[in-house]
Amino acid sequence: MKWQKILIYLTVGIVIYICLFVSYFMCSDSMNKEIHLISKDYVGPVIIFYNQMGGVKREYEGKARLLRIPKCGVLYTKFKPNTGWIGDSNTINIWYVDSIDNKIMEIPFVISTLNEKVMELSNIGVNGFNYKSISLEDRQLDYMYYFVDTLNLQWSKYSRFSVDIDSLLLSDKVDYSSE
């Protein structure tokens, strides 16, 4: 009888935990879908500064936010930051484009190295996104960055990048106007 009570309490506890876990993800905001267009053969960091008064205007492809990344890899946009959780590898689609913005090759966003879109770690891809928000004296600066490069080289090539971008932003070397 005592073991049955313990088993019932344990079962009820597990069911409550599962319900809370599922409801958290069902109620949490997921990111809006985005499409990033990057010049063919670009390799390196991509940095997107949000809420920029002089930034490029908001553009959509269907319901997805469309971001045309300049050849330098830095975009100033009027879009607000796209916060929330990434539901799957189709939340943000990144494409190489030709000179007239025709999509020529999807750059896989790798949630895990087991992603079916990536055959080898020697392939080009994006391995995660970094969102940051910095309070400056008179404004809030929100930005996102990621790296388009060979997956197995990203950590060694860009391990100090976040420190570099933070010092760059805090030293007022960033132009907050449009390009």
Query: Tens-digit pLDDT profile for the chain (179 aa)?
Result: 677 777 776 776 777 777 555 555 554 566 789 999 999 989 999 999 998 888 899 999 999 999 999 999 999 999 999 877 666 667 889 999 999 999 999 998 776 545 455 556 678 888 778 888 888 777 788 888 999 998 888 878 887 776 455 555 544 444 444 33
Please give the pLDDT value at position 106.
92
Residues paired with 30 in a beta bridge: 85
Please give the pLDDT value at position 121.
65
Q: Which 8-state DSSP code applies to residue 117?
A: T
Q: Is the dihedral of CA 68, 70, 76, 81 positive or negative?
A: positive
Cβ proximity of 68 and 62 under 8 Å: no
Please give the pLDDT value at position 140.
81
The pTM score is 0.72
Most distant CA atoms of the chain, gap in Å: 75
- In the sheet where 64-69 sits, what is the strand order? 60-61, 64-69, 34-39, 92-97, 103-107
CA gap 75, 98 in Å, rounded: 18
**Would you kindly state where each structural domain of the chain is located, as residue ranges?**
1-30, 32-170
Residues in the chain: 179
Element (H, E) at 97: strand 92-97
Please give the pLDDT value at position 179.
38
